[in-house]
Structure 1
Amino acid sequence: MEIAVLGPLNARVGPASVVPSAPKPRQVLALLALNRGNPVGVSALVDELWGDRPPRSAEATLHTYVKQLRRMIGSALGPDHVLGPKDVLRRVPVGYRLDAPPDAMDVSRFERLASAGRAALEAGADAEGSELLVGALRLWRGPALADVSPGPVLRAEVLRLEELRLTALEERFGAELRLGRHRALLGELTALASRYPLHESLHAQLMLALHRSGRSWQSLELFRGLRRVLSDELGLEPSIRVRQLHEAILRGDTSLDAIRDHSDGGWSGAAQGHPDRASGWRGAATGAQVVAP
């Protein structure tokens, strides 16, 4: 069984799709898939399907959806398969469990590649880490569960997955900035900064990429736009790290142009000097570090 949730929901047994067309059975399959190998309680499934207003027949209706999924799985497996549909979608004491190998899920492959990429970055291997993160991000085919109307439980899962994707993107951008690939990042960073107008890290990475590409005036304009949106929407100023980056661009600090190919750069407080995994620069005069997130 192959299951993909990083984009439209896709689940196949061999060449046959086992994704139902009706919205609520799709929700059941999606929630079971995201918890592959672990039981999902009846209460969680009911909450996902009907929120805090379930019908009296909620559990019976849920069982009907499960039977529909099993029929589709059984048809795809065929009569001669060693497993039956109840071996794949099991009834367990608290609810139901979908059994499938770990690598059957695109989420599992994404998390494994992203973790390997992060470990490479921590070891100072930016080129290898970037390549692994690119491989992880290629598994995304669009927004998670793009064709499923999520209830409260799935909505939280979709947000979690999107945060994982954004983290992998930030780590990849940081590595590529350290490798001097700022020009190649401009288009992607510009699109993401527009999509996430309150995301300081992406804006700071774009500010640094623009500055290194000889477009400091656009970098300063970007900062002004970020400051305006944060003030209007949240009543906040940009973080001190983004403000330090802005001040360094205004000063024409040559440390901003330093390209590093190891792990000594990142967001860091000037006094502590403990870098993390984002790309940055070290102020030559003060030893302070100001970085793109």
Structure 2
Amino acid sequence: MQFRLLGPFEAHQDGRRVELGSRRQERCILAVLLLDMGHLVTTERLIDLLWDGRPPSSARGAVHTYIGRLRTALAPYGAQIRTGGDGYLVEREHHVDVDEFSQLAHRASATADPARRVELLDRALALWRGPLLAGTADGELRDRLQGPIEELRLASLELRAEAQLALNRHGPVINELTPLVARHPTREELVGTLMTALYRGGRQAEALALYRATRRELVEELGVEPGMRLREVHRRILHDDHRLERPGRPVYEVRVQEESLPWSVGGHPALEFCNTFAGWGHEPPLPGSEWLRTYRTLAVWTGHLGLADDAAVSRLIELARRDPDTADAELDAGRALRARLYACLTDPGDGAAFDAVARHAEAAAKTLVFRRGVDGRGRWWPDLVSGLRLPVHAVAWSAAELLADPRRATIRVCPDERCGWLFLDESGMRRWCSLATCGRTAGEAPCHSRS
């Protein structure tokens, strides 16, 4: 079956509209199960959502009744609501517009071509026919259900606007973002993109006025000053900097050999490799969170972190140009290693993740050579005999060193849901990975120094 939740609730079978759930509560229950399709939703959660924490004594019986009616209504179409423990689930065998939206948004974030990115995001955003579950969920229930979906929608709008700026379409960006910024006046990524579009459209005074209004809103409502990125856009507009680039991602980045690399905050190459993925703690991942978009980025990053010398990086870039298919395969292998390493470092009890990293490290050890560095000290280097696998070997060897280091016990995870980066905290004092960008919740002033 096909279900539409991004707007009024609708169900379709073979292109034909199907009426399900004569009561609003029944449609709400089915929608909640579809939003978490493939996962068990407990009866207690359904009760809590349906009655907003104030259930009647008959709530559990009512949920069972609603589930029974839904099963009867779905049966002719081969759809089932399964019981598991004290809850229910819908198997992942149906088409839900929320899933399609998420998949398109993440495909868009993974492409470097701005035109292709706009095309994919246009398709994703066109799936929205109105507020989530319009006419079915009330405002309170919608607020509780739509958090991750709404965040993904806003992030997609930001990513689409940035791609349009890359295509010199500042006019449409101004038209689309002006009402959006009015509804989200403290969302700095939106504001920075709109300021850039206004500046590029010859409306410098309006861009500066928008900054002043945003700063006033942030100070008066949240008690914080604008972040560094928004301040940098403001500074460049003040100086009439014609090189003004689009605002950056929600995380810092540096430019090396024309590649965008994440700002180093971890304190160890193995941690920085995990930090090439922003938003580890956000599910689903936010668009734009992937830094290792191409093999060339991986090669440049390996040299930037000192895991390979400049000659090796140049050789890797040339090999990747000649054999793009193998390069893509090695990039995928690197991402898989990264996921295992992140799991291993955040959960010392994850034996399977440790074993996977260990196998990579053992393979890397067979290709290492011991050479004298410019400082006169000897060190192990991955040999170019590894070919395009060299960056994966370099990371695996670095990971093995960290896993054998007592400092592993000082690894912390940034709790900011847009981050999740890893960092060493030998002092035991740091709370966030980067005190300039993370941990700024409503009513909490930003920190301006590191512990």
Indicate if the aligned counterparts of 2:132 and 2:142 stay in contact, CA closer than 8 A.
no
- CA 1:152–1:196 in 2, change beyond 3 Å: closer, same or farther? closer
> Residue 145 of structure 1: CA displacement?
1.6
Q: Counterparts of 1:58 and 1:231 in 2: how far apart (Å)?
A: 44
Alpha-carbon contact 2:20-2:74 (below 8 Å) kept: no
More off after superposition, 177-186 vs 91-100: 91-100
Q: Which moved more, 1:235-244 or 1:197-206?
A: 235-244
In structure 1, what is the equivalent of residue 86 of structure 2? 94
Residues 31, 154 of structure 1: 8 Å contact kept: no
Equivalent residue for 1:226, pick from 201, 207, 214 = 214
Q: Partner amino acid for 2:231?
A: R
Q: In structure 2, what is the equivalent of residue 205 of structure 1?
A: 193
In structure 1, the residue matched to 2:101 is 110
1:156 aligns with 2:149: no
Q: Does 1:6 align with 2:16?
A: no
Q: 2:178 aligns with which of 190, 198, 206?
A: 190
> How far has the Cα of 1:177 moved from its partner?
0.8
| Aligned equivalent of 2:133, options 122, 129, 145 | 145
1:243 aligned partner? 231
Q: Secondary structure at the match of 2:146?
A: helix
Residues 270 and 66 of structure 1, relative CA distance in 2, 3 Å threshold: closer
1:70-89 equivalences in 2 (<5 Å):
70-74=71-75, 77=77, 83=78, 88-89=80-81
Alignment CA distance shift 1:214-1:154 (3 Å): closer
Q: What amino acid is aligned across from residue 178 of structure 1 in structure 2? A: A
- CA apart distance, 1:17: 2.4
- 5+ residue gaps in structure 1? 78-82, 260-264, 279-293
Aligned to 1:20: 21
Are 1:182 and 1:209, in contact at CA under 8 Å, matched by a contact in 2?
yes
8 Å Cα contact 2:42-2:86 kept in structure 1? yes
For 1:178 and 1:271, locate their aligned partners in 2 and report how far apart those are by CA, in whole Å.
Answer: 18
| Post-superposition offset of 1:148 | 2.5
Aligned residue in 1 for 2:204? 216
CA distance in 2, matches of 1:56, 1:151: 24
After superposing the two structures, state which structure 1 stretch, 137-146 or 15-24, moved more: 15-24
Distance 1:186-1:51 versus aligned 2 partners, 3 A rule: closer
Distance 2:253 2:37 in 1: 44
- Quick one: structure 1 residues 11 and 161, their matched pair in 2 at CA, closer, same or farther if it must change by over 3 Å? same
Cα deviation for residue 21 of structure 1 reads: 4.3
Query: How far is the alpha carbon of 1:223 from its aligned partner?
Result: 0.8
Shift of 1:54: 2.5
Distance in 1, matches of 2:183 and 2:45, equals 32
Question: How far apart, CA to CA, are the structure 2 residues paired with 1:178 and 1:16?
Answer: 41
Q: Letter of the aligned partner of 2:73 in structure 1? A: M
RMSD (CA atoms): 2.6
TM-score with structure 1 length normalisation?
Answer: 0.79
Spell out structure 1 runs of 4+ moving beyond 4 A: 150-154, 267-278
Q: Which amino acid aligns with 1:88?
A: Q
Matched positions, count: 259
Letter in 1 for 2:157: L
User: Quick one: which of 112, 123, 129 aligns to 1:135?
Assistant: 123
How far apart, CA to CA, are the structure 2 residues paired with 1:54 and 1:225? 43
Q: What's the secondary structure of 1:255's corresponding residue?
A: coil
Task: Say if 1:28 and 1:45, in contact at 8 Å, map to a contact too.
Answer: yes
Pair 151,227 (structure 1): closer, same or farther in 2 beyond 3 Å? closer
Q: Partners of 2:46 and 2:21 in 1: how far apart?
A: 16
Residues 36 and 97 in structure 1, CA contact (< 8 A), matched pair in contact too: yes
Range that drifts further, 202-211 or 235-244 = 235-244
Asked whether the equivalents of residues 186 and 206 of structure 1 are also in contact (C-alpha less than 8 Å), the reply is yes
TM-score after normalising by structure 2: 0.53
Distance in 2 of aligned mates of 1:216 and 1:146: 39
Once residues 149 and 208 of structure 2 are traced to their aligned partners in structure 1, the CA distance between those partners, rounded to angstroms, is: 32
Deviates more, 1:48-57 or 1:37-46: 48-57
For 1:2, the aligned partner's letter is Q
Relative contact order: is structure 1 or structure 2 higher (C-alpha 8 Å, sep ≥ 6)? Answer: 1
DSSP 3-state at the match of 1:206? helix
**Distance in 1 separating the partners of 2:182 and 2:52:** 33
Distance in 2, Cα, partners of 1:188 & 1:275? 29
Instruction: Measure how far apart 1:249 and its partner are.
Output: 0.8
Partner of 1:286: none
What amino acid is the match of 1:186? I
**Partner residue in 1 for 2:46:** 45
CA contact (8 A) 1:44 1:153 kept: no
